[in-house]
Chain A
Amino acid sequence: MLKIQDVSKTFFPHTVNEVQALQNIDLTIDEGSFTCIIGTNGSGKSTLLNAVAGTFIPDSGTIHIDGLEISSWTEYQRARLIGRVFQNPFAGTAAEMTIAENIVLAMKRGKMHPLTIALNKKVKSEISDRIRMLKMGLEDRLDNPIGTLSGGQRQALTLLMATWLRPRLLLLDEHTAALDPKSAAKIAELTSEIIKEEKLTALMVTHSMQQAVDMPDRIVMMHRGKIVEDYQKEHKKRVRIADLLDTFDRVQKRELFDESVAKLLIREYI
């Protein structure tokens, strides 16, 4: 469904600030699968999501969705296929517009003539029904400006808006990180529910090991722009938080394995 082939991206090349954010990434995501990307700060998780979303064009490599090569498509062109939820709960909605107006925009995302739908009774009733599933009582506040809602409520609506048209791919970029623990748990639960019910293909970046273990059916671990671990199928099912922490530990230990360690081991082990 999503095929990332040999994708690389270097920021500030040939300068002292050069960062090899993505290094020859190969990743194939199957239709209907929910993949979580974890990794240390600066490992390239969000950069990979942004490469898929079209925030920038990679230096090399290709990206396909449903067999279509989208590598050179702009961000807004890709929006026809991709729904996104960001870390900032205020990023995906228009604060001055009402809940209903925001939803109407989401209903026409990626289409020509986005402002043709009127907020008639039928549309409002459909919006109300879908919002009811959030179990936040927002179905009775459709005419309230979205800016009056809490961060958790706004993120729930952003999630609903991003999945309203059943995107081919849903990108979630640490979408619970800026919420309080209770709201974060609620949004995580909603995310799993929506992905399962709508049978969506999703790619989520998170720092929460608990979410990584509980929510997806595949975990990809990144470090310094590379994929260093990929837990799938039975391996994913048996994985626990302690295993993920062990893997982080192992990756970092490997980095500490320098020439001096090699000399030590040649003397002490070999």
Chain B
Amino acid sequence: MEIRTIKTDKALLVTIKERLDASWSEYFTDTFLEYIRNGEHRLVIDAQEMSFLSSAGIRSLLLVSKELTKVKGDFRIINSNEFVANTLRTTGFGVWLSEAKAEDILPATKEINEADNLKNLFIISKDSGITLKLISNWKPWENISESKIKRVEFLPDSFALGIAAPPAADKDAVLKFGDFVSLCGHIVYQPPEERSRPDYFLPMENFVPQLQTIQCIYAQGEMSHLLRFSPEENKENYRIGELASQALSITGSSLAAFVILAEADGLVGAHIIQSPEGEQSFTPTDFKKLRDWLSFSGERAYAGEQTLIFGVVAKHALGGKIDFLIPLSSNPEIAIHAHTTIFPYQTLQNGKLDLMHQITKFFNGPPPKGLMHLIDDNRPSTGLGESSFTRGAMWCAPAKWEEDNV
């Protein structure tokens, strides 16, 4: 089999030469799924030179078609020879056949501006904004007194990050505090054990997820903007600091909240692996002790997976509650606090996306694979740098701190 592609402003035209049969179907499917992953959601197959199509080949076409349906894409087969057209019609897939000619799709290759096509800014609601509250403000590794623990309900219009424990069934049970992130009332919590997988809680009917927090930045409100980003010529990925700076400039604010749903290029972060305890104070002077408490990613992790991040960014000059926002080493003008959860890859639709719909979709799919507090690793020579992303979406809004909140 030979596959040739021509990108036009209307679609990706793919010419298939020779057989699409059991021997080639897997390769064909993988190739087309990669096109979809790269944002090509309008696919046209030129089948003039396809010499054979078996049931295995039809199954591949069906898989591609289904994947495109998920992202509201489009799939057509043009120029099919008699054998291919008959096979598709008699098996009930004639609907894929189109009378269009390759020439109808071909021109305008030179006029495409891919960056303009894929990198888009959408205004969701110009006047929207986010109110931030610092609900609990424990700092590692202070003692945890009763007064430090705040029970928080995560409402559908809220976003949050911090360190918390799920409410225990028994009031005397020891609370296991670990990192968490909450998006539109959906929570991912990383139990503080090295072996544990992240746990998650979904809002359902009258159930509103809750956590006992010791550190919690809680945001409530609506996102005002959506930025779509994807690889461009000479730009293969987007660093978290770049995107956070964009959030400030898009919203024209010195404090902004953002949610990023994106394919990871590599994530750098840490999470708690030993729950801090009430009366036990800990001073992290010895790195051998510190590694019993924190797990560091150690490499750029989770490449190719889908990350869902909530973060807060401020111009560093703000002061005050900036304590919980950490100046970015690579850009000390801004300070960030961001937690991410990681899901298995799912293709995102191009264009405007609804935040709640996307979050619900991911939380109702395969379970999260990890959770991290993102870190900018600027160690000389060995540093892993910032987390970065290949393509995705960032929702953002101007934010303000609610007074009297601690």
Contacts and interface: CB of A to CB of B under 8 A. Distances in A.
Interface of A: 247, 250, 252-254, 256-270
B225 interface: no
Most buried by B among A247, A252, A258, A261: A261
16 contacts: A250-B295, A253-B299, A256-B299, A257-B298, A260-B379, A260-B382, A262-B287, A264-B375, A265-B375, A268-B270, A268-B326, A268-B375, A268-B376, A268-B377, A270-B139, A270-B140
Contacts of A263: 379
Nearest to A262: B287
A252 B284 contact: no
Interface in B282-299: 284, 287, 290-291, 294-299
Contact of B287 (A247, A253, A257, A269): A257
A259 B373 contact: no
Contacts of B295: 250, 253
B401 interface: no
Contact of A266 (B284, B291, B379): B284
Interface residues of B, number: 24
Contacts of B140: 269-270
Give the top 8 A-B pairs by smallest Cβ distance, nearest first.
A262-B287, A253-B298, A257-B291, A268-B375, A256-B298, A270-B140, A262-B290, A259-B287
Contact of A265 (B194, B290, B299): B290
Interface of B: 139-141, 194-195, 270, 284, 287, 290-291, 294-299, 326, 373, 375-379, 382
Contacts of B294: 265, 269
B382 A257 contact: no
Contact of B296 (A265, A267, A270): A265
Nearest to A259: B287
Given A247-B195, A264-B375, 12 more contacts: A253-B295, A253-B296, A256-B298, A260-B379, A260-B382, A261-B287, A261-B291, A265-B284, A266-B290, A268-B375, A268-B377, A269-B270
A259 to B, nearest CB: 5
A253 B290 CA distance: 13
A261 B139 contact: no
Contacts of A252: 298
Contacts of A268: 270, 326, 375-377
A254 B284 contact: no
Contacts of B298: 252-253, 256-257, 261
A126 to B, nearest CB: 48
Contacts of B141: 270
A254 B382 CA distance: 15
B379 A253 contact: no
Contacts of A266: 284, 290
Contacts of A256: 296, 298-299
Nearest to B179: A269
B179 to A, nearest CB: 10
Nearest to A249: B298
A253 B379 CA distance: 16
A258 B373 CA distance: 19
B385 to A, nearest CB: 12
A262 B326 contact: no
Nearest to A253: B298
Contacts of A269: 140, 270, 294, 373, 375
Nearest to B272: A269
Contact of A270 (B284, B287, B379, B382): B284
A2 to B, nearest CB: 26
Nearest to B273: A250
A256 B287 CA distance: 11
Contact of A261 (B296, B376, B378): B296
A266 B287 CA distance: 10
A264 B297 contact: no
A228 to B, nearest CB: 10
